[in-house]
Amino acid sequence: MKKIFILSACAALAVVLVGFAVFQWFRIVGAALGDDAPPYYAREPEADNFTWPELPRDNGDGGDYIPEPAEPVEPPEEPEPTPQPTPTPFPEPIAITSVSGLGGAAYRGGLELPVAGATGWAAAYIYLLSEPRLPPPPPEEVYEEIYEDIYEDTYEDIYENYVYEECHYNYEAYYYEVYPCEDCDEIYAYDEYPAAEYPQYYEYLEPVEILAALSPGQAFVIILAYGDWWYVKLPDGLSGWVLHSGCFINLPDVIPSIVYRISNAYYSLKRSGEYEIPNISGQALYSAWAFNPRLGRYEFIVPALYASVRRIFAAQQAALAQGDTLVIYEAFRPRATQQNVVRNLQALMNENNAVYEALNTPPWHPGWFISHGISNHQRGAAIDASLGRVTEYEIRFINGFAYRRVTGFAPHEMPTTMHNLHPGAAVFTAPRSGTLAETMTEGALLLQSYFTRNGFTLLSSEWWHFDDPAGISVARAHNMTGDFFTPLIFSVLPNNT
């Protein structure tokens, strides 16, 4: 009996211990991921010894808060001398000097400066259309007739393929007139549709002309924003409507208060631990520095997915309210540049055992530090950023639109230098573990708070990297791959009228 009692007690204790372990596992994973977090992203970390700074009080006159200059701190060491970016030859300007919009706050589109007049790019294969709409679908009863009597596929597939592949069919006219054909098993598109014979479909047969098929990387100036559409003008003078979900926009054109330091455009900071990456470190990996006539100064060209821009702006507004500023080191990164880094980092690992062991010791592997496939940077939905304490600023105006330009800042202390591809830059001790690495700093945690509280997710292996899950979904829907460069801008002044 005594033996049975002891065995029962041991079994009960084992059940309790297993239950406690399972509870702790769910608690840690839940803390890292959260109920609503995507499966491959970690939530904002929390540190018991860190207190978020209080929001500043209003300055008393109802205006925007302007941070008081902070005591300057010693900046981190940087390569000396740091070369200046090489200016890109300015392109022939599009035949406009400014654009007009709707005026007021709505004109800004929820950003610091209006979208109108900014440079944009096609980030996928998109069409330039004569009107701000896709061809209207037929009514539900037509859909059912098409589905049941003609096709064994869904109408959505028929319509999507029809709309987005139409220009390859070499029809004489690009008018979308959708109707079921009773004598055949196809759907036709004619510009001479006999409306008198099919009056029930006539109201759905409005023409939409394809003016051009834009390839990824095609630059344009945005004339007007209207719902999901932009009215744009190409360098050759052709104008039309594009769906802006398939487009990038130049960040400095609409959020000029951010400090931009696109180091890969003039002196790449990428390295692995104490070792430089051959053909990468200290090199200009692409061109992104040009005179911006909208801002009246030389500035970096920083394409980003338009679907992500308002969340970037929200993060910057949160930082400014605390007297800080984002310092963006990269947004869009061309795919060719990504592959170039992968090849040369692999070459370094092949030659240097210390680098190989550092990047291949579990739980890490090289893919945590540089994506071997299509990165979210190629989709324009990822940001590499640091954080600075504002020490100098000035209020600037562009045709009546005021914004703050940060002219001086003291960098917050971060775990490593920017773009150091090494486990020392990790946020967590292991991917998505929720346990902060010992090297994490209050500055890095503050940076993460600005982003994660405004819709971004962090990357476990890089304190500087932030993804926009909502933007990533948009980019994937357009199959964005980043196979292009963006060396030219055509930005112009917005008119406050």
Least confident of 51-55, 138-142, 209-213: 51-55
User: In the predicted model, what is the mean pLDDT of residues 91-106?
Assistant: 48
Burial category of 315 from C-beta neighbours within 10 Å (exposed 0-12, middle 13-18, buried 19 and up):
buried
Would you state the pLDDT for residue 6? 59
DSSP state letter for 260 = E
**Residue 86's pLDDT is what?**
63
Q: Please say if the pLDDT value at position 5 is more than 80.
A: no
> In the predicted model, is pLDDT for residue 309 greater than 50?
yes
Q: Which of 3-7, 173-177, 433-437 has the highest mean pLDDT?
A: 433-437
Name which residue leads in pLDDT, 51 or 452: 452
Can you tell me the distance from the alpha carbon of 398 to that of 300, in angstroms, rounded to the nearest whole number?
18
Mean pLDDT of 326-341: 97
Percent of the chain with pLDDT over 90: 55
- Torsion, Cα 312 315 317 320, to 10 degrees, reads -120
Among the residue ranges 79-83, 161-165, 412-416, the one predicted with the least confidence is 161-165
Question: What is the pLDDT, as a whole number, of residue 54?
Answer: 35
Q: Are 207 and 191 in contact (CB under 8 A)?
A: yes
Mean pLDDT, rounded, for 127-143: 63
CB 187 within 8 A of CB 181: yes
- Stronger pLDDT, 148 or 130, i.e. the higher one: 130
pLDDT category, 196, cuts 50, 70, 90?
very low
Q: What is the mean pLDDT of residues 100-110?
A: 48
Q: Does residue 469 sit in helix, strand or coil? A: helix
Full set of structural domains in the chain with CATH: 32-90+254-495 (3.30.1380.10), 134-207 (no CATH)
pLDDT at 487: 87
Burial of 130 (0-12, 13-18, 19+ CB in 10 A): middle
Residue at 85: amino acid letter = P
Banded pLDDT at 438 (limits 50, 70, 90): very high
User: Tell me, what's the pLDDT at 399?
Assistant: 82
Q: Give the mean model confidence (pLDDT) for residues 255-270.
A: 96
pLDDT at 397: 87
Q: Residue 217 has what DSSP assignment?
A: T
The pair phi, psi for residue 323, each rounded to 5°, is 85, 15
> What confidence tier does 96 reach under pLDDT thresholds 50, 70, 90?
low
Confidence of residue 178 (pLDDT cuts 50, 70, 90): very low
Q: Mean per-residue pLDDT for 382-388?
A: 98
Q: What is the pTM of this model?
A: 0.71
Give the model's pLDDT for residue 277. 97
Asked whether the beta carbons of 267 and 82 are under 8 A apart, the reply is yes
Q: How confident is the model at residue 402 (pLDDT cuts 50, 70, 90)?
A: confident
Residues 6 or more apart whose CB falls under 8 angstroms from that of 173 comprise: 191
Q: What is the mean pLDDT of the chain?
A: 74
Q: Find the range with the poorest average confidence among 89-93, 304-308, 468-472.
A: 89-93
Q: Could you give the residue ranges of the DSSP H alpha helices within 375-480?
A: 442-452, 469-477
Pick from 408, 380, 374, 403: which is nearest to 393 by CA? 408
Distance CA 391, CA 65 (A): 14
Query: What is the pLDDT confidence band of residue 418, given thresholds at 50, 70 and 90?
Result: very high
Please give the average per-residue pLDDT across 280-291, as a whole number. 94
How far apart CA 205 and CA 192 sit, in angstroms, is 10
Chain-centroid distance, C-alpha 131: 27
